[in-house]
Amino acid sequence: MAETKTTVTAATAKASSHQPTKSSNLFAALAVPICLVIGFLFFFFVLGNPANFQGNNPDGHPIDSGIGKWFGTVYKGGLVVPVLISVLLVCLTFVIERFLYLSKAKGKFSGSELVRKVQYHLANKNVDAALAECDKQKGSVGNVLKAGLKKYKEMVTNSELDTDQKILTIKNEIEETTALELPMMEKNLVFLSTIASVATLLGLFGTVLGMIKAFSAMSSGGAPDSAQLALGISEALINTALGIGTSAIAIIMYNFFTTNIDSITYAIDESGFTLTQSFAANHK
């Protein structure tokens, strides 16, 4: 009974050490509203700066040259533009956050290199040296291998279980640790996958609004209002460009991160196979 309680306590402690921290969850919760505020402030006070328009009038045409021309043109895209800017900022925020985390998860050197070093030390029956290599790697592969090696070391001195049971125990330990590592690597990728589709829809929505303005100008009595017609088409195209551009960034980075996660996962699987095979070979 005491042994079971100890095992449960150890498992709980391990799970707790891999759970997202409160600061990480707070970051995810605050990122979206903060980006929305920044997006709208940028739209009204930077893009909508009167200096970007002829006669210092935001209702007029953008100035003819300089960066103010581009700012004024984007401002004319309408109220969907600040939403798209906010979505772009959210996208970039989580791209940077995932890039930093996955760079850390890869460790100081590659997982395949760590597996080779551990395999060498296990062949020489030096488990402590293998554990030291995991500490040096400091990545997800190192974390999984370290947990497996600790159980490996424990099984070496275990006289109650047979070899097959020991191998199964090591394998279960590796699978449990892997199950705790993977969610941390995939955390927040849902933002990028959502933005990949939502940004395009928002761009399309802004395009439709712009075209409505353009056709309204054409359908007005008398000669079409060329200024309103141009404004409507401009709004449509600006929203299209922002929506497609944001969506493209989200798709590219989502695929980049999932490819990196697959690579780490493969190294973890390889490490688990190596560990169990080494135990089987050294303790027949």
Is 133 a member of any domain?
yes
Report the pLDDT value the prediction gives residue 7, as an integer from 0 to 100. 43
Burial class (CB in 10 A: 0-12, 13-18, 19+), 48: middle
Token look-up 């330990």 returns 173
Does any domain span residue 181? yes
Top pLDDT among 18 and 216 is at 216
pLDDT at 217: 66
- Over residues 207-228, mean pLDDT: 70
Name the residue range of residue 243's domain. Answer: 101-283
Nearest of 74, 91, 81 to residue 39 by alpha carbon: 81
Predicted confidence (pLDDT) per residue in 59-78, tens digit = 877 888 888 888 988 888 88
> Mean pLDDT, the chain, as a whole number?
83
Least confident interval from 37-51, 93-107, 172-186: 172-186
With respect to residue 261, please indicate whether it lies within any of the assigned structural domains.
yes
Q: Specify if 240 maps to a domain.
A: yes
User: How open is the CA angle 270-271-274, to the nearest 5 degrees?
Assistant: 85
Whether 182 has a pLDDT exceeding 80, the answer reads yes
- Identity of the residue numbered 241: A
How far is it, in rounded angstroms, from Cα 144 to Cα 138?
A: 10
Strand partners, 62: 53
Q: Quick one: pLDDT at residue 22?
A: 62
Provide the number of structural domains found in the chain: 1
Each residue of 17-68: pLDDT tens digit?
A: 444 556 667 878 889 999 999 999 999 999 999 998 888 888 877 888 888 8
Give 201: exposed, middle or buried? Use CB within 10 Å, 0-12, 13-18, 19+: exposed
Q: How far apart are CA 104 and CA 185, in angstroms?
A: 10
% the chain with pLDDT above 90: 31
Longest dimension (CA), the chain: 97
SS3 category, 53: strand
Residue 55 lies in a domain: no
Query: Residue 20 domain-assigned?
Result: no
- Report the alpha-carbon distance of residue 135 to residue 143 in Å, rounded: 8
Q: CB 192: neighbour CB atoms within 10 A?
A: 23
**Residue 231 to residue 214: CA distance in whole angstroms:** 7
Report pLDDT for 21: 55
Nearest to residue 210, comparing CAs of 91, 73, 89?
73
For residue 96, being part of any structural domain is answered with no
Phi, psi dihedrals of residue 189, rounded to the nearest 5°: -65, -20
218 within domain boundaries: yes
| Cα dihedral 222/227/239/56 (nearest 10) | -150
